[in-house]
Structure 1
């Protein structure tokens, strides 16, 4: 049987969310050496600079363990002018208010990306990937990413190899946790996705701090990780999985 992989991805990694992540990460560590992919926000909502936070040292320790650090926006908030049409309003006020790169033109997206890349360089952190908050990218952001020198980005369905956005299918389980009814629907939807993608070559778990504020979210994600490991899935970081795919293609 072909290998099946598991990518455990922690979104919105920033000082405000660490109290929610910490006990969950400690529980994961009890399951064995599980490489994690951390989506790091350099200055969450303009108020929480990572460089000045104790979280910086924690992430350096995780990097030394074999985890991957990925650039996840810069501020992780939408500071653009108010929505101009119904679609804009839905995407920026109903779907999310965190779509930092949804309305940026190429120049501004490139400047924001460059600031994040420079921070990683200054901290001595290797960087291969970028994920836009809420996976929302403007056309200008895509053009800026194509010339960024980064290796990959992603959307909810795929990892996208740069500069051409070549899609490698990687289905994702994700919750929306802003209300009880959303959490209930998320749990049912993810259960269906687990059945649907039982034999998929790779499966991503996209966790958010808000999920872990609630007992149902904490229990679901921990049980899901255990279930997928017990089923034989091999945990990898995003970068390691891409390297595995490259090696497989070269050997074919």
Structure 2
């Protein structure tokens, strides 16, 4: 009888959203607190040109930081192109709910396949120019229309995700991966987010992986920043291993499978 592989410890993935010249410095106090805790790998969701006003290459300090964090073992993920939804107006109630109530930044929800390919290729080229390994793509607001899904099947990216799942590309094979996320733009939203996330954390105690999805607006409030550090400490104390998205997915893949290649897109 073949030996069963040893069980892997459950994981926690710390994900920094909306990384751009106009927002990244909000994360600096968090980075200092994490560095004091030791080696905590991070996943950075990088926006090439946030709201068409913050091109990544305009900020050498941010570029140096990302290079340094890659050398420490972090992962950079392509997070849209502009992170703003300037497509045609919503045509259905469901589309209106997604693109005007849930978020105004669902850039990849209304795109056709051709448009999505153009946006993806611009981001892929940016990563190539900086020699940054690229494995994953996350759509702003986790919103992906049919055109975007079709486009993702045509590029050698290895995964995407939404709020509840990872999807291995090009097959869109789902892997449950729940996220804790705050809405921090007002005091009542922060209070409600804390209660909701505490309940979710209890519900997901046995989940093999939990993602902590942080945003720059969270970092503007000391209570939110301290909440995320407390939750991270709790999950690590419970025996969870801190990993990047790519490393967690790679660990799940069968060693004989080519579902998740060990070679990143930008190095091909």
Establish whether TM, by shorter chain, passes 0.5. Answer: yes
Cα distance per residue 1:200-229 (max 9 Å; x no partner): 111111110111111221111011111111
The correspondence for 2:127, drawn from 120, 124, 127, is 120
Say if 1:97 and 1:236 are closer, same or farther in 2 by CA, change over 3 A.
same
Say if 1:32 and 1:249 are closer, same or farther in 2 by CA, change over 3 A.
farther
Is 1:157 the counterpart of 2:164? The answer is yes
Alpha-carbon shift at residue 249 of structure 1 (Å): 7.9
Taking the aligned partners of 2:254 and 2:244, their CA distance within structure 1 comes to 15
1:36-51 matches, within 5 Å, as 36-51=42-57
The correspondence for 2:228, drawn from 218, 221, 245, is 221
Taking the aligned partners of 1:249 and 1:97, their CA distance within structure 2 comes to 42
Alpha-carbon shift at residue 133 of structure 1 (Å): 0.2
Taking the aligned partners of 1:104 and 1:180, their CA distance within structure 2 comes to 34
The correspondence for 2:191, drawn from 169, 174, 184, is 184
Taking the aligned partners of 1:249 and 1:137, their CA distance within structure 2 comes to 31
Unaligned runs of 5+ in 2: 1-6, 258-268
Q: Which residue of 2 aligns with 1:146?
A: 153
Alpha-carbon shift at residue 177 of structure 1 (Å): 1.4
Query: CA contact under 8 A between 2:21 and 2:58: conserved in structure 1?
Result: no
Is 1:209 the counterpart of 2:226? The answer is no
Higher helix share: 1
Q: Which residue of 2 aligns with 1:101?
A: 108
The correspondence for 2:30, drawn from 24, 30, 34, is 24
- TM-score of the two chains, using structure 2 as the length reference: 0.90
**Could you tell which deviates more after superposition, 46-55 or 102-111?**
46-55
Alpha-carbon shift at residue 87 of structure 1 (Å): 2.4
Alpha-carbon shift at residue 2 of structure 1 (Å): 4.8
Unaligned runs of 5+ in 1: none
Cα distance per residue 1:47-104 (max 9 Å; x no partner): 1111121211110100010000000001000111233333222222211011010100
Q: Which residue of 2 aligns with 1:12?
A: 18
Taking the aligned partners of 1:153 and 1:136, their CA distance within structure 2 comes to 11
Q: Helix, strand or coil: the match of 2:137?
A: coil
Q: Which residue of 1 aligns with 2:240?
A: 233
Is 1:85 the counterpart of 2:92? The answer is yes
Query: CA contact under 8 A between 2:88 and 2:110: conserved in structure 1?
Result: no
Say if 1:116 and 1:172 are closer, same or farther in 2 by CA, change over 3 A.
same
Taking the aligned partners of 1:214 and 1:248, their CA distance within structure 2 comes to 43
Aligned residues: 250
- TM-score of the two chains, using structure 1 as the length reference: 0.96
Alpha-carbon shift at residue 248 of structure 1 (Å): 6.6
Taking the aligned partners of 2:78 and 2:252, their CA distance within structure 1 comes to 22
